[in-house]
Amino acid sequence: MNNGFGKKIRNFIFDNTVPLMFVLICAVCIPLSGFSFSYLLNEIVTRMGRNIFLILCLLIPIMAGMGLNFGMTLGAMAGEIALILVSDWQIWGIPGVVLAMILSIPISVLLGYFCGKILNMAKGREMITSYIISFFMNGIYQLIVLYMMGPIIPIKHSSIKLPRGYGIRNTVSLLNMRQCLDNLLAVRIGGVKIPVLTFMIIGVLCLFIIWFRKTKLGQDMRAVGQDMNVARDAGIQVERTRIISMIMSTVLAGFGMVIYLQNMGNIATYSSHSQIGMFCIAALLVGGASVDKASIGNVFLGVILFHTMFIVAPKAGAQITGDSMIGEYFRVFVSYGVITVSLIMYETKKRKNKSLVGQQLAQAQKEEAKAHE
C-alpha cells in the first residue's frame, strides 16, 4: 500500500518535473521580488490575455503528431503584415483588429500550406524543419517589408514608411487600436483589470478546440498523431490532414499575433515575431505539455507559471545579486533551458518505453520457447 503510494508520488513528480520546478522557482522569487499581490495578479492577467490565444494555436499540430510548431512564427508574420496594412489604411479600434485578422487569413493559409507541404517531406523531423522554415520565411518577410512595401505594395503614410521612401520603420504605432479588445467590457476587481472580451475570445477558441477534437477531422488528426501508417491503412489521407493542421495552427497564430500586438500598442516590425514561437513553446512546456501531448490546462498553467517567472525574475535577480540584468539573463536562460530539458525528457521517456516494450517482447519469447521445450 505504502509502496504503491510512494510509486504514485514518484511518477507524479517525474511526469510533472518542469511545472514543479517552476512552482519552486516562483515560490522563491515572488517574496524576493517584493511585488504586491494585486500588482502581480494584474500583470499575470494582462499577460494571460495577451499570450494564451497564441499558445493555444500550438495544440492542433501536437494533436496531429507534428510536435511543437516553431512555424507559428509564419502566422505571426502574417498578422504583422495585416496590421501594417490596416495601420496605413487608418482603420482604428475594433474594426481595425477584425480587419487585420481577416486580412491575415489568406497570408496564413498560404504560409501554412507551404509549411505543411515541406513538413510532409520531413516526417519525423518536423520541429527542426519548422524552426528552420521560420528563419527562411523571416528573410522573405524582410524582403517584403523592407523593400516591397512602398514601391510595390502601396504605403501612404510617412509615419509608417522609412524616410528613404520605401520599407517600413522599425516601430509601427498601433496607438489607435491599443488595448481596444482588452478595454471593451473590461472589469476591475480589487484593482485588477480583467479583459473580459479577450478572455471570451480565448474561451471560444478553447471550446472550438474541444469540439474540434470530437469531429471527424479532429479524430483523423489524433489517429495520424498516434500512428501514421495505421491511419493511412484506415483510409485517412495522412498528408492532407497534416497540412490542414498546419494551416489551422498558422491562421490561429495570425489571429493570436493581432491580439498580442493590440495589447502591446506597437509593432516592432523586424523583431516582434522572431522570439514569439520560442516563448510560446517554452510557456506550453512549462505547463507540463510534451512534444506529443498537450492540453488546454497545460496552456493556462504554463502561461501563469512562465509569466510569473518573467515578471519576478528581474527584481528577484536584482535583490539577490544587486544586478537586475542577472534576472534578465536568467529568464532567457530558463526559456531556452526548459525547451531543452523537455525535449531531452521526451526522448528519454520514448527510449525507455521502447526498451521496456523490447524487454517485454524478449521475456514473452523466452517464456514461449520454454513452453515449447
Task: Measure CA 283 to chain center.
Answer: 7
State which residue, 132 or 162, has the beta carbon closest to other proteins. Answer: 162
Find the binding residues for other proteins in span 128-147 (CB under 8 A).
142, 146
Binding residue for other proteins, selected from 2, 121, 164, 368, defined by CB under 8 A: 164
- Joined together, the cell numbers standing for residue 129 give 524543419
Which residues on neighbouring strands pair with residue 168, listed in sequence order?
Answer: 161
Nearest to other proteins of 16, 142 (CB atom): 142
Task: Tell the smallest beta-carbon distance from residue 135 to other proteins (Å).
Answer: 9
Of the candidates 4, 163, 235, 322, which one interacts with other proteins according to CB under 8 A?
A: 163
Q: Which stretch binds other proteins (CB under 8 A): 89-97, 183-191, 258-266, 329-337?
A: 89-97
Using CB under 8 A as the binding rule, whether residue 360 contacts other proteins is answered as no
**CA triple 55-58-63, angle to 5 deg:** 140
235 binds other proteins (CB under 8 A): no
95 to 87, 177, 195: CA distances (angstroms): 11, 9, 18
C-beta separation of 327 from 315 below 8 A? yes
Q: Is 115 within 8 Å of 250 (Cβ atoms)?
A: yes
Stretch that binds other proteins, among 96-104, 219-227, 240-248, 295-303 (CB under 8 A): 96-104
Residue closer to other proteins by CB (options 177, 236) is 177
Residue 153 near other proteins by CB under 8 A: no
Is residue 103 within the footprint of other proteins (CB under 8 A)? yes
Pairing of strands 192-194, 187-189: antiparallel
Nearer to other proteins, 35 or 141 (CB): 141
| Among 41, 68, 91, 144, interactor with other proteins by CB under 8 A | 91
The Cα diameter of the chain in Å comes to: 88
| Residue count, binding to other proteins (CB under 8 A) | 25
Range 108-111 contact pairs with CB under 8 angstroms and sequence separation of 24 or more: 108/74, 108/75, 108/78, 108/79, 108/247, 108/250, 108/251, 108/253, 108/254, 109/247, 109/250, 109/251, 111/74, 111/75, 111/77, 111/78, 111/137, 111/250
Binding mask 243-282 for other proteins (x = CB under 8 A): ---------------------------x------------
Find the part of the chain contacting other proteins (CB under 8 A) among 5-13, 92-100, 122-130, 305-313: 92-100
Looking at residue 168, the DSSP 8-state letter turns out to be: B
- Grid coordinates standing for 237? 489521407
175-214 footprint of other proteins as x/- string (CB under 8 A): -x--------------------------------------
Euclidean distance between CA atoms 268 and 223, whole angstroms: 40
Q: Which residues bind other proteins (CB under 8 A)?
A: 89-96, 98-99, 102-103, 105, 142, 146, 157-158, 162-164, 167, 169-170, 176, 270
